[in-house]
Each structure stands twice: as structure tokens, then as C-alpha cells.
């Protein structure tokens, strides 16, 4: 009987996974350095004379553009600090604007009314704002859930009333309190020195991001993440949830106070709108828009939100909008309407915020990539 040899089927050509391709390996090797590259690019941005019509009103190195970018950077840091509470610990606070307002008004009052130099006023304000956050947090954290949110809102409303009533003539009431620039260093005064305020805002953002990331990667950060997921499990492990939540609350309040110090130098005074609960709601929108609990999402959400908030006002009064039919021009001339629409669309199509764009677009890019 003749033996019939079965035909050998050739093995398919070996494919190299994308993770092992040289280009992919180089990309993964460069990823840890991307934040440093972004920081360097942001630092040298004021030296650029690039003009982007429609995006900014002047060149990148113009005082108006630098001031807008500085405000965006401050609120990017504020959103990152608020995410330490909301996204990483799971605490919904409606009174976070109180500590930002404490930084703004504390610095302004100490410089304008008390005549202190900037460094003393800033130091006392940050210490005072952090202490205030610790004291109020110690009371508010005795409650949980919606009760905690309402208690923090009540504290913020008390702060707003104190500012509006102008007790002792310190806050200026509804008129606000202009900053006395005679007590400031010359490098921070004048239109020509707006670049220094921009660098100060960039330094604030970098410090906040560094602090939040170090805390999140530490054992304390892992406990905070456990509190967000299941607080009872943390208690079963023998840890005190109250103490860890108070640490997060106090740290977030201190970072917000430092942001207020930088903000009052950028805008040149304090106004009562920063004490309203709307500011805290705006911070919540920034975090959700960027992606709560993510590495860079809250920062991007804060920068994008403040940019749109400022630029949509100019867009709503532009000739392009005014020339549209009434049923289009009226809603488009309202910045809050446009912001709300952008937020709804972003939440609907990207529930994880801007930080989820990469994971959602990767399958699409893979499907469109030509097969080798």
C-alpha cells in the first residue's frame, strides 16, 4: 500500500505586533517626556509672533493673548485641583469657589488695605486659605453624599454674603476691590510685563499638576481611589476614611487658594462673581469635559472651557453672527448657550471626556490603516 503524504500547508507569514514595531517602540519611549516638551513649548510661546486670526485677537506675544492664556492656565490648574476631590476621591463639593475667592480677596486686601508686600500677602493668604479649608472640611466631612454637597454650598454662600455686604469696607462690595499695584514688584506691573504673569500662571499649573500626580501615585492616592470606589472597604482594612478625605479636601483648598493669588495679579483686582456657586459648577463642568480622574483631562477641560468662555463673547458680537438670520444669531450671540451645547455634545459623544478621545479614535485609525 502506497503511503500518501499529506501536502504541507505553508505557515502564514509572521506578523510583528504593533507594540514591537520600531515606530511604536520609539513612541512609547518618548511618551514620558511629552509633558516636559509641552512645558518647554508653553514657556517659549511668548517669544512667538505667530498670528492666528479668529483664534486670538492678536499675535501670540501680544499682551491681550498672553493674558487670556494666563487665565486659561490658572483655571486648568484649578480644575486639576478640584479633580483631586471629585474625580480621584469621589467627593462632590459645591463650595470649592470659596477657597479660590479667599486667595483672590485675601491677597488683594493684604496688599491694598494692609500695605503688605506681595510675598508676605501671598504666604499669609495661602496659609489662611489652607487652614480655612481644613476647618470647614472637618465639619463638612461629618456628612456624606448630597448632604456633604449642601454643607459645602452653604459655606460658600456665607463667603459670598460676607463679600457682598462689604464688612469693614474691606471687599468693596458689588463694585469689587481694585489691586493697589504700587505694592507689587515692577516686573509684575504694566502691559509690557504681561509675559511675566503668563509665566507665573504656567508655573502655578505645573506645580498643581506635579502635586496632584505625586499624591495620586502615592499610597495616599491609592487609598483615595479606594474611597471613591468603595468607602466601606477602606474602613474594613482598618484605615480611617475621614482623615484621608480631610487631607484631600485641605490640599485641594490650598491649591485653589494659591490659584486665587495668581489670578488677582493677572486681572488686577477682585470682583464678587468669583464667590458665586456658579464658579464651582464651572469647575465641575471643566472636569467632566476633560475626563474626571484622568491624568491630563481636567487640565485640558479647564483650559478649553475658559478659552471658549472668553472667545465666545467676541464671537457672539461679531459681524459674521449678526449677519445670520434671527433664529440663528440670537442663540449664537449667547456664550452660555453655545457653551452648554458644546458640553452636551461632548458628554453625549465622549462620555469619558477629552481624555477618552485617544481610546475612542484608536479603533477607527486602526481600521483605516492600510494593511501590509
The pLDDT tens digits for 32-45 are 778 888 889 999 99
Do residues 197 and 70 touch, judged by C-beta distance below 8 A? yes
Cα distance between residue 253 and residue 242, in whole Å: 16
pLDDT at 6: 45
pLDDT at 200: 96
β-sheet bridge partners, residue 56: 53
Coil/strand/helix, residue 253: helix
> Average pLDDT, whole number, for the chain?
86
Residue 112: name the closest of 225, 313, 336, 264 by CA. 264
> What's the grid cell of residue 93?
463639593
Ranking 13-22, 98-107, 146-155 by mean pLDDT, the lowest is 13-22
206: which 3 cell numbers? 505645573
DSSP annotation of 178: E
C-alpha dihedral sign at 291, 295, 298, 303: negative
Q: Provide the pLDDT for residue 1.
A: 44
User: Pick from 44, 49, 67, 69: which is nearest to 59 by CA?
Assistant: 49
- For the ranges 31-35, 129-133, 285-289, the lowest mean pLDDT is seen at 31-35
The residue among 117 and 357 whose pLDDT is bigger is 117
User: Of the candidates 106, 110, 162, 112, which has an alpha carbon nearest to the alpha carbon of residue 129?
Assistant: 106
List the grid coordinates of 173.
462690595
The per-residue pLDDT for 357 is 75
- What DSSP letter does each residue of 305-351 carry, written as one string? HHHHHHHHHHHHTSHHHHTS-HHHHHHHT-HHHHHHHHHHHHHHH-T
Q: With cut-offs at 50, 70 and 90, classify the pLDDT of residue 19.
A: very low
Residue among 252, 264, 256, 126 nearest 200 (CA): 264
The predicted structure's pLDDT at residue 133: 97
CA–CA separation, 38 and 75 (whole Å)? 17
CA–CA separation, 351 and 156 (whole Å): 29
Mean pLDDT of 3-29: 51
Q: What is the pLDDT at residue 364?
A: 57
Q: Quick one: which of 336, 288, 349 has its CA closest to 79? A: 288
- The band of 325, judged by pLDDT with boundaries at 50, 70 and 90, is confident
pLDDT > 90: percent of the chain: 53
Q: How far apart are the first and last CA of the chain?
A: 46
User: Are residues 252 and 82 in contact, defined by beta-carbon separation less than 8 angstroms?
Assistant: yes
What average pLDDT score do residues 107-132 get?
Answer: 95
Query: Is it the case that residue 266 has pLDDT exceeding 70?
Result: yes
Q: SS3 sequence, 187-204?
A: HHCCHHHHHHHHHHHHHH
Residue for cell digits 481600521? 367
The C-alpha cell at 70 is 494666563
CATH code of the domain made up of 60-368 = 1.10.3470
- 152 contacts: CB under 8 Å, gap ≥ 6: 93, 94, 95, 96, 136, 140
Class of residue 60 by CB neighbours under 10 A (exposed 0-12, middle 13-18, buried 19+):
middle
Residue 369 confidence (pLDDT) = 64
Residue 205 in this model has a pLDDT that exceeds 90: yes
Which tops the pLDDT comparison, 364 or 125? 125
Amino acid at each position: 500500500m502506497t503511503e500518501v503524504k499529506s501536502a504541507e500547508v505553508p505557515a502564514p507569514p509572521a506578523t510583528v505586533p504593533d507594540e514591537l514595531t520600531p515606530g511604536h517602540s520609539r513612541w512609547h519611549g518618548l511618551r514620558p517626556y511629552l509633558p516636559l516638551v509641552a512645558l518647554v513649548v508653553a514657556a517659549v510661546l511668548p517669544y512667538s509672533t505667530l498670528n492666528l486670526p479668529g483664534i486670538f485677537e492678536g499675535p501670540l506675544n501680544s499682551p491681550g493673548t498672553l493674558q487670556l492664556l494666563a487665565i486659561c492656565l490658572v483655571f486648568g490648574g484649578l480644575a486639576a485641583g478640584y479633580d483631586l476631590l471629585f474625580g480621584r476621591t469621589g467627593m462632590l463639593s459645591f463650595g470649592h469657589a470659596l477657597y479660590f475667592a479667599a486667595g483672590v480677596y485675601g491677597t488683594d486686601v493684604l496688599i491694598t488695605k494692609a500695605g503688605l508686600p506681595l510675598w508676605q500677602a501671598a504666604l499669609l493668604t495661602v496659609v489662611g486659605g489652607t487652614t480655612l479649608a481644613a476647618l470647614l472640611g472637618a465639619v463638612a466631612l461629618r456628612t456624606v453624599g448630597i448632604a456633604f454637597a449642601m454643607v459645602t454650598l452653604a459655606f460658600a454662600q456665607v463667603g459670598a454674603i460676607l463679600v457682598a455686604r462689604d464688612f469693614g469696607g474691606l471687599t468693596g462690595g458689588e463694585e469689587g476691590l481694585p489691586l493697589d499695584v504700587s505694592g507689587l514688584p515692577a516686573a509684575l506691573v504694566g502691559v509690557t510685563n504681561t509675559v511675566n504673569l503668563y509665566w507665573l500662571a504656567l508655573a502655578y499649573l505645573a506645580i498643581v499638576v506635579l502635586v496632584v500626580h505625586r499624591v495620586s501615585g502615592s499610597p495616599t492616592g491609592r487609598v483615595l481611589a479606594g474611597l471613591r470606589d468603595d468607602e466601606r472597604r477602606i474602613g474594613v482594612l482598618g484605615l480611617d476614611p475621614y482623615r484621608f478625605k480631610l487631607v484631600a479636601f485641605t490640599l485641594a483648598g490650598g491649591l485653589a487658594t494659591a490659584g486665587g493669588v495668581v489670578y488677582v495679579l493677572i486681572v488686577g483686582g477682585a470682583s464678587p462673581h468669583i464667590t458665586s456657586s456658579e464658579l464651582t459648577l464651572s469647575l465641575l463642568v471643566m472636569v467632566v469635559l476633560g475626563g474626571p480622574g484622568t491624568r491630563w483631562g481636567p487640565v485640558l477641560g479647564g483650559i478649553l472651557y475658559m478659552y471658549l468662555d472668553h472667545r465666545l463673547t467676541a464671537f457672539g458680537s461679531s459681524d459674521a453672527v449678526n449677519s445670520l438670520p434671527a433664529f440663528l444669531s440670537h442663540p449664537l450671540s449667547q456664550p452660555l448657550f453655545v457653551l452648554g451645547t458644546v458640553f452636551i455634545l461632548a458628554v453625549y459623544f465622549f462620555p469619558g471626556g477629552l481624555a477618552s478621545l485617544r481610546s475612542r479614535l484608536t479603533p477607527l485609525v486602526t481600521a483605516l490603516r492600510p494593511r501590509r
